[in-house]
Structure 1
Amino acid sequence: MQISFKRYCKTMELLNEPILIEAYKKAHAKGAAWPEITQGMKEVGIIDMEIYLLGTKLFMIMDTTADFDHDKAMIELALKPRQSEWEAHMSQFQNSSAEASADQKWKLMDRIYKMD
């Protein structure tokens, strides 16, 4: 079976503050993310995205179009309407610099195993 998409997995740390973690979860609840952000992701070729949380560790699964160029798409995404505003808003929850772009905060993970 031919796979017609690419998958990227990323990780980031939140600040170890229970109130902020709950606020971060609320900001990502169904319908809570700003529509411009979701639209921008779709426009650069992100088909689907899920974020999981364990303690302060975030884990993102990002499925994209088969021809997706990660580096190019992240540059394009950073220029989308309200993207920098969203990143600044999210930075209050994240264990990273407030000036960092999404691509600087979310670190790509290497796949080390795939079931045969």
Structure 2
Amino acid sequence: MKQYALALDLKDDEVLIQEYEDYHQNIWPEIRKSIVDSGIEDMQIFRTGNRLFMLMAVNDNFSFEAKGKADADNEKVQEWENLMWKFQQPLPWAKEGEKWVLMDKIFALK
């Protein structure tokens, strides 16, 4: 199983951050289905301040390209993404239109 780590910032506003966390305590069923259907077997999001860190464990069928296409074709996912953008802001080094930025692994104990 492969793992990916990604980062994103939230707008630095305590009220918005709490609302974002509230949404993630009970994600929409369609969002959960789109995640699982793409080959993501586990996903966790951590926060410090307004910085988010996502850890994804994926199966051999997962690809970012296929997930991106499926998400673009899914109205409910697009609705969720547009709603989440109210809370999110790109990292300063993100490419144009990029939200979550893939992180490079720089250390592994094992």
Query: Quick check: TM above 0.5?
Result: yes
TM-score range, shorter chain: 0.7 to 0.9
Match of 2:62 in 1: 68
**2:14 maps to 1:18:** yes
Verify the 8 A CA contact 1:7 1:62 in the aligned structure 2.
yes
Match of 1:9 in 2: 5
Identity %: 34
Verify the 8 A CA contact 1:41 1:77 in the aligned structure 2.
no
Structure 2 unpaired stretches of 5+: 91-96
Q: Deviations over 1:35-91 (max 9, x none)?
A: 000101111111110000000000000111023222222222332340000001111
- RMSD value, Cα: 1.5
Verify the 8 A CA contact 1:36 1:81 in the aligned structure 2.
no
TM-score, length-normalised on structure 2?
A: 0.87
2-structure distance, mates of 1:78, 1:47: 21
2-structure distance, mates of 1:14, 1:23: 11
> Which portions of structure 1, spanning 4 or more consecutive aligned residues, are displaced by more than 3 angstroms?
none
1-structure distance, mates of 2:52, 2:72: 20
**2:83 maps to 1:89:** yes
* Paired letter, 1:9: A
* Paired letter, 1:69: S
1-structure distance, mates of 2:73, 2:98: 14
